[in-house]
Amino acid sequence: MRSSVVQAIQHVKIADEFMNDFIRSAPTTRGAIIFGQYSRKLRWILTDIITYPHFDDEVRKGIKVEIESDAFSVGAIKDLIPLLNPEQREMIEDLIEDILKGKTIEVSIKDHVVEINEMISGNSEIPNNQ
């Protein structure tokens, strides 16, 4: 259920972002007027979710954090995953599972130079004579 609530909040936020993007790109149009009204309604929905009286403070705090987060980051992450090789995807999956379990994660990024005979993407090698 938590995932559904988070996704609903993200979709409302994304819709609001697109409405406001249209307003910024065409501020003097009739569309900007109607999208401005829709944007206000979307922000009202988010405010109403936060102020729902039957949520306890912990739930309300979690919802506020989600509303304040970058709604486009989940989509951006989803777009990057297919670019990884299977081993990298498995590493990311393990990393995410560990984060969700509450483990402390330390990430070290190292620059890596591909040598001429080293494998690059899949099983292909660059021949020595190039």
User: Over the chain, what is the mean pLDDT?
Assistant: 85
Ordered by start, the domain boundaries in the chain are 2-70, 72-109
Q: Residue 42 in contact with residue 55, Cβ under 8 Å?
A: no
Task: For 42-96, write each residue's pLDDT tens digit.
Answer: 999 999 999 999 988 988 898 899 899 898 888 899 999 999 999 999 989 999 9
Q: Residue 12 in contact with residue 46, Cβ under 8 Å?
A: yes
Q: What is the pLDDT of residue 28?
A: 96
pLDDT-derived band at 5, boundaries 50, 70, 90: confident
Q: Residue 19 in contact with residue 38, Cβ under 8 Å?
A: yes
Q: Residue 125 in contact with residue 117, Cβ under 8 Å?
A: yes
Alpha-carbon distance 89 to 79, whole Å? 12
Q: What is the three-class DSSP state of 110?
A: coil
